[in-house]
Structure 1
Amino acid sequence: MSNPQSSSPSTPLTTEAARAKVAAILPGIRSDLEDLVKIESVGADPARRGEVDRSAEAVRALFAAEGFDAEIVSHEGGFPAVLAHKAAKVEGAPTVLLYAHHDVQPENDHADWDTPPFVPTERDGRLYARGAADDKAGIAAHLGAIRALGDDLPVNVTMFIEGEEELGSETLPDLLATYKDRLKADVIVIADSGNWDIGVPALTTSLRGLVRMDVEVRTLTHAVHSGMWGGLAPDALIALSRLISTLHTDAGDVAVEGLHAGPAADVDYPEERLRAESGAAPGLEWIGTGSAVERLWTKPALSITGLDAPKVDGASNTLVPAARARISMRVAPGDTTENAEACLRAHLEQHVPWGATLSMTTIDTGEATAIEATGPHYDVARGAFTDAWDGTEPVDMGVGGSIPFIAEFLESFPAASVLVTGVEDPDTRAHGANEGLHLAEFERVLVAETLLLARLGARD
């Protein structure tokens, strides 16, 4: 942690010098990133558990080569994380914790990819591969800043590279508790988000939470003939459909009472960009009320992400006795998953039609996050981003998705300034086919993080 009597480097690192340092190390960082993405570290696939282990070892070796005391840690069979530390040359320097994750999402159908998903391929200024952006580029960004600063490291740096983020970070709270003393820091940089646009950096200051719930409606003990009993006995699909229809108002706002909603940053999200990035079908009308960013960032959202029901092909003339849906509810910052889950359960119980039997099973939850991004560390970060992006100031951006582990860090280290950054852009396609890293933006990220570490160390 920082010391009031700390000394600081006599010559601050200029933006031009940072660019030159990054340009010199960039080919090697690009090569290291490509080597990492060739490792199929898909934690969701039991057959590739060994690849996750191999990925952790590759990350450990990269930071050990930079002079870090690096080791692989895990908790009771959880996936491997890398914990590493390197001390600054300056006595009393602040401590910065750099986070990323080395596990990746499944690549799904290879036919949807233009090139093999684990063969890094450059096209039109992007590097395509699973994990090229989410989140092995986050690892590479941290590595690049460390390598650019070299022997002039002005801050104590702790690396924490998680191995199960894409699986919900199940053992992360235990790891944070076990290694809390070694993870304490003045500033935490979480490189697992994105920027507002190509050429426009961002700090992520809010994320929605998540409640996933399976809902089953049963109307009959067994299937019966639709001609013999239709018109008297309701089928479960109709009952479930009517229940689902109560979840939104006619305008498309979530109709569940008791949920929190709040204002969003005054950011313009152009209509043409919304349609291009969302993949909206021609003529589609948006749902909900309020500004686009409020609907995407600071209001609750509710979707049906799966249905268990007979397929149309081969369906018989019978009344379906039971039907099930998976509800994915995004929880607005300022709300809690406990409240949101209770409100959803109450709504479903009140609206299940015709006396059907309702059962609800919560699959998982993740808390929303709101960061008060003010103070000297955030000022330093904004300055570093502005300089790295040639005078373009960063946007304070919300994210509609959920990264529950950020709430874990905020709870575990309440005194630290948490900076949520990243390498993604609106066309990164993380989790989808043809995930790609914009290489010019990646270089700016490296410059920004190099300047950030240098300036944090230079502060009195």
Structure 2
Amino acid sequence: MMTELARKIAELMPRAKDDLAELVSVPSVADPRQYPPEECRRAAQWVADAFAEVGLRDVHLAETPDGSHAVLGHRPPPPGAPTVLLYCHYDVQPPLDDDAWTTPPFTLTERDGRWYGRGAADCKGNIVMHLTALRALGDDIPVGIKFVAEGSQEQGTGGLEEYVTQHSEQFHANALLVCDTGNAEVGTGTATVSLRGLTNVVVTVDTLRGEVHSGMFGGPAPDALAALIQLLGTLRDPESGATRIAGLDCEGVWDGVGYDEEQFRADAGVLDGVRLTGTGTVADRLWARPAVTVLGIDCPPVVGSAAAVPATARARVGLRVPPGMDVGAAREALARQLTGAAPWGARVTVETESSGAPFRAATHGPAYTALGTAMREVYGKPLAFLGQGGSIPLCNVLAAAYPRAEIILMGVEEPRCLIHAPNESVDPREIEHMAHVEALFLQEFARLAHR
């Protein structure tokens, strides 16, 4: 039988869809080279207005050190009640290849029971989840609320992390719900307890003062692009494709919930006949070992390229770092390997773009007990724990600032969402069910605090 709270949330789902459609229509990519910064400001104001409407006080936009705007608000706790911080972010990844989208990326479109659009899951779906939970509770919110919506999470420029460090009193809470992850699969309530860290570098290879004709000079003239390809190839085992960087432990083992290989192939869209890279279990490779990715290459494009020997080439390389590994040491090992592998005396420079440390949550406090109760009631099965290959540097900043607070990572972003890829989508059932989980969690956490 449906409870009164579940009924309220179900009745709120048409409004949730309308809200998400409005949010997705705003191309809030926090990169002024690609989209006007006014779009992020417009999304921030939408979020501020919406959360003021559900009863948060002093909702405002706060400029952070990287120039982005965080949306902040709060609601005082009832006497003796704990406070919960609700986190999300309103900025999104760029759509990448517009032609790869079946429907326009900034138009929420329903298809086969899912809602498609950039940010539909990551992370505007989580914004709508928060709103739906708070609307369902109405004036009967049994805990204090602190709210923050970040404006540059996808860019990794660290604006909110620095702001939290400078204004830690504004974010103090007993439990922190970082809603930028999701369930292991639709219908399995999950908390993410492990996050890989991240460091991105740009490697540049120079071999000539300028391009020269390949007919006249090709052969002896060192090809910068070929040199770049060769040194990038040293970052992986030539047979298995596993990440291999001298000085890093690339054989870690994951001790939590696994990830079925066939399910992973389906979730990742791996083509038939193409082998997965690396060794060990999928979970080992995703959550317990470093993983290198060549994110982009600057070189002459195929269309319009000339018969010339490239003089310079560069690549953006990302390295995911598991908990227990120092991200600074990993970055240095990556840089050493790239510079040391340069063939033919090519000149190689490595520039660090951004870094974020890995994170591991403690799961034995009252907030996790309350979450387990809520997840079991909504999904009918025990709360599952898993790792996440992505990085949320803010978690480490929050853990350092509030060592006694419990940090919970959850949300609507299950694997079929294809976050960061073309045709990102969200299952509306996950918005409904996770909003129900959040509302129940707030009630149960308040009850445990009064015991």
Common fold by TM > 0.5: yes
How far apart are 1:381 and its partner, in Å?
1.0
Which residue of the partner structure matches residue 20 of structure 2? 33
Which residue of the partner structure matches residue 72 of structure 1? 61
Letter in 2 for 1:39: V
- Which secondary structure does the structure 2 equivalent of 1:422 belong to? coil
Taking the aligned partners of 1:319 and 1:58, their CA distance within structure 2 comes to 51
* More divergent stretch after superposition (361-370 vs 268-277): 268-277
Taking the aligned partners of 1:33 and 1:310, their CA distance within structure 2 comes to 40
Which residue of the partner structure matches residue 180 of structure 2? 192
How far apart are 1:338 and its partner, in Å?
0.8
Which residue of the partner structure matches residue 441 of structure 2? 452
Question: What does residue range 316-327 of structure 1 map to in structure 2 within 5 Å?
Answer: 316-327=306-317
Q: 1:360 to 1:146 in 2, by over 3 A?
A: same
Specify which of 395, 406, 419 is matched with residue 406 of structure 1.
395
Which residue of the partner structure matches residue 118 of structure 2? 130
Letter in 2 for 1:59: V
Which residue of the partner structure matches residue 23 of structure 1? 10
* More divergent stretch after superposition (283-292 vs 23-32): 23-32
Taking the aligned partners of 1:320 and 1:107, their CA distance within structure 2 comes to 30
Which residue of the partner structure matches residue 405 of structure 2? 416
How far apart are 1:219 and its partner, in Å?
2.9
Q: 1:294 to 1:355 in 2, by over 3 A?
A: same
Taking the aligned partners of 1:236 and 1:439, their CA distance within structure 2 comes to 48
Q: Gaps (5+ residues) in structure 2?
A: none
Which residue of the partner structure matches residue 302 of structure 1? 292
Q: 1:151 to 1:354 in 2, by over 3 A?
A: same
For the 8 Å contact 1:169–1:405, the answer to whether it is kept is no
Q: 1:33 to 1:224 in 2, by over 3 A?
A: closer
How far apart are 1:190 and its partner, in Å?
0.8
- Which secondary structure does the structure 2 equivalent of 1:192 belong to? coil
* More divergent stretch after superposition (34-43 vs 157-166): 34-43
Which residue of the partner structure matches residue 369 of structure 2? 379
For the 8 Å contact 2:128–2:431, the answer to whether it is kept is no
Specify which of 62, 68, 84 is matched with residue 96 of structure 1.
84
How far apart are 1:159 and its partner, in Å?
0.8
Taking the aligned partners of 2:152 and 2:204, their CA distance within structure 1 comes to 30
Q: TM-score, normalising length from structure 1? A: 0.90
How far apart are 1:33 and its partner, in Å?
2.8
Taking the aligned partners of 1:287 and 1:167, their CA distance within structure 2 comes to 27
Which residue of the partner structure matches residue 171 of structure 2? 183
How far apart are 1:264 and its partner, in Å?
1.3
Q: 1:105 to 1:222 in 2, by over 3 A?
A: closer
Taking the aligned partners of 1:384 and 1:61, their CA distance within structure 2 comes to 28
Specify which of 76, 89, 93 is matched with residue 87 of structure 1.
76
For the 8 Å contact 2:9–2:133, the answer to whether it is kept is yes
Specify which of 329, 333, 337 is matched with residue 327 of structure 2.
337
Letter in 2 for 1:419: I
Taking the aligned partners of 2:243 and 2:115, their CA distance within structure 1 comes to 38
Q: 1:64 to 1:349 in 2, by over 3 A?
A: closer
Taking the aligned partners of 1:346 and 1:242, their CA distance within structure 2 comes to 15
* More divergent stretch after superposition (401-410 vs 419-428): 401-410
Aligned residues: 445
CA RMSD of aligned residues (A): 2.3
Is residue 276 of structure 2 the alignment partner of residue 282 of structure 1? Answer: no
Specify which of 350, 354, 359 is matched with residue 360 of structure 1.
350
How far apart are 1:231 and its partner, in Å?
4.8
How far apart are 1:72 and its partner, in Å?
1.8
For the 8 Å contact 1:56–1:163, the answer to whether it is kept is yes
Which residue of the partner structure matches residue 263 of structure 1? 253
Q: 1:168 to 1:25 in 2, by over 3 A?
A: same
Is residue 340 of structure 2 the alignment partner of residue 350 of structure 1? Answer: yes
Letter in 2 for 1:375: G
How far apart are 1:154 and its partner, in Å?
0.9
Taking the aligned partners of 1:425 and 1:138, their CA distance within structure 2 comes to 12
Taking the aligned partners of 1:437 and 1:368, their CA distance within structure 2 comes to 26
For the 8 Å contact 2:65–2:163, the answer to whether it is kept is no
For the 8 Å contact 2:66–2:158, the answer to whether it is kept is no
Which residue of the partner structure matches residue 283 of structure 2? 293
Which residue of the partner structure matches residue 43 of structure 1? 30
* More divergent stretch after superposition (222-231 vs 112-121): 222-231
- Which secondary structure does the structure 1 equivalent of 2:408 belong to? strand
How far apart are 1:354 and its partner, in Å?
2.5
Specify which of 209, 219, 241 is matched with residue 207 of structure 2.
219
Taking the aligned partners of 2:172 and 2:400, their CA distance within structure 1 comes to 12
Deviations 1:88-132 (Å, cap 9, x if unpaired)? Answer: 3x3110010000111222234443333333332222221222222
Q: 1:156 to 1:289 in 2, by over 3 A?
A: same
- Which secondary structure does the structure 1 equivalent of 2:410 belong to? strand
Deviations 1:16-67 (Å, cap 9, x if unpaired)? Answer: 3431232243333333333322333222246532222222222112222222
Q: 1:220 to 1:115 in 2, by over 3 A?
A: closer
Q: Gaps (5+ residues) in structure 1?
A: 1-13
Q: TM-score, normalising length from structure 2? A: 0.92
Taking the aligned partners of 2:135 and 2:342, their CA distance within structure 1 comes to 59
